[in-house]
């Protein structure tokens, strides 16, 4: 179902100019909004060696990282930071999921606080009350990390028996497992929806 032209919306004529002004205002705002810089408890680099992975898992990891490179989610890195990555089968049984163990990095990040906790329960919304539910696919991957934070989310692909040089990458976008990703995502979605 497509969006209706403004002239067909069930809005009184005197409200149309206000709605049009809101739309123009949205276009004039800085988009995308600037990335949020993380606050760090310490700037000392974290280096956790990559765990050994089997040849089939390394092959799968290479494919997943290549996919993330193609999407612009990761980039090559020379970072002094490193934490392990691994792959696990998806619950659906179709394919694998790339996971990054950020336990040690998360210990260095100042938490931003919880995601909004006062969401109304659906049973508390009066009957007939208009409401909207947003399910944003890959929300984290659409929000860039601040340039100064990227190197702290680096990882390596280590080949057994030094078959070839290690490959090093860093994330360019919010990633699953980072302590502040849900809060930053909520802030960015709130900013995007603020004028609506």
- Residue 173 is part of which domain span? 36-113+137-193
Region 23-52: what's the mean pLDDT? 80
Say if residue 11's pLDDT is above 70: no
Q: Name the residue with tokens 């403004």.
A: 6
Residue 12 lies in a domain: no
Region 178-187: what's the mean pLDDT? 91
Q: Which residue has the higher pLDDT, 192 or 55?
A: 55
Contacts of 147 (CB under 8 A, 6+ apart): 35
Q: Own/partner pairs for 83-90, CB < 8 Å, 24+ apart?
A: 83/46, 83/48, 83/153, 83/154, 83/155, 84/48, 84/49, 84/50, 84/51, 84/155, 85/50, 85/61, 85/155, 85/156, 85/157, 86/51, 86/53, 86/57, 86/61, 87/53, 87/57, 87/60, 87/61
How many domains is the chain built from?
1
The CATH code of the domain that includes 158 is 3.10.10.10
- pLDDT (0 to 100) of residue 20: 46
Residue 70 lies in a domain: yes
- pLDDT (0 to 100) of residue 26: 45
Q: Which residue has the higher pLDDT, 1 or 33?
A: 33
Which among 61, 41, 79, 75 has a CA at the least distance from the CA of 180?
41
Residue 23 lies in a domain: no
Say if residue 178's pLDDT is above 60: yes
Structural contact between residues 38 and 106, judged by C-beta atoms closer than 8 angstroms: no
Structural contact between residues 45 and 149, judged by C-beta atoms closer than 8 angstroms: no
Region 117-137: what's the mean pLDDT? 75
Residue 24 lies in a domain: no
Residue 1 lies in a domain: no
Q: Name the residue with tokens 């290690």.
A: 166
Residue 130 lies in a domain: no
Model pTM above 0.85: no
Region 148-155: what's the mean pLDDT? 98
74-104: pLDDT as tens digits: 999 999 999 999 999 999 988 999 999 999 9
Do the strands 85-89 and 167-171 form a parallel or antiparallel pair, or are they unpaired?
unpaired
Residue 91 lies in a domain: yes
Residue 8 lies in a domain: no
- pLDDT (0 to 100) of residue 117: 61
């Amino acid at each position: 179902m497509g969006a209706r032209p403004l002239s067909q919306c069930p809005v009184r004529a005197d409200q149309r100019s206000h709605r049009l002004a809101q739309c123009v205002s949205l276009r004039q705002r800085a988009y995308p909004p600037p990335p949020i810089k993380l606050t760090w408890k310490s700037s000392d680099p974290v280096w956790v060696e990559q765990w050994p992975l089997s040849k089939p898992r390394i092959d799968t990891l290479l494919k997943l990282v290549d996919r993330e490179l193609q999407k612009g989610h990761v980039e090559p890195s020379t970072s002094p930071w490193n934490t392990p990555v691994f792959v696990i089968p998806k619950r659906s049984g179709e394919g694998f999921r790339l996971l990054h163990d950020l336990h040690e990095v998360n210990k260095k990040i100042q938490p931003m606080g919880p995601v909004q906790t006062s969401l109304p329960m659906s049973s508390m919304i009066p009957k007939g009350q208009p409401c909207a539910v947003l399910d944003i696919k890959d929300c984290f991957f659409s929000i860039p990390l601040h340039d100064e934070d990227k190197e702290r989310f680096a990882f390596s692909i280590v080949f057994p028996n030094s078959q070839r040089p290690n490959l090093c990458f860093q994330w360019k976008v919010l990633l699953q497992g980072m302590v502040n990703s849900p809060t930053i995502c909520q802030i960015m979605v709130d900013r995007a929806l603020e004028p609506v």
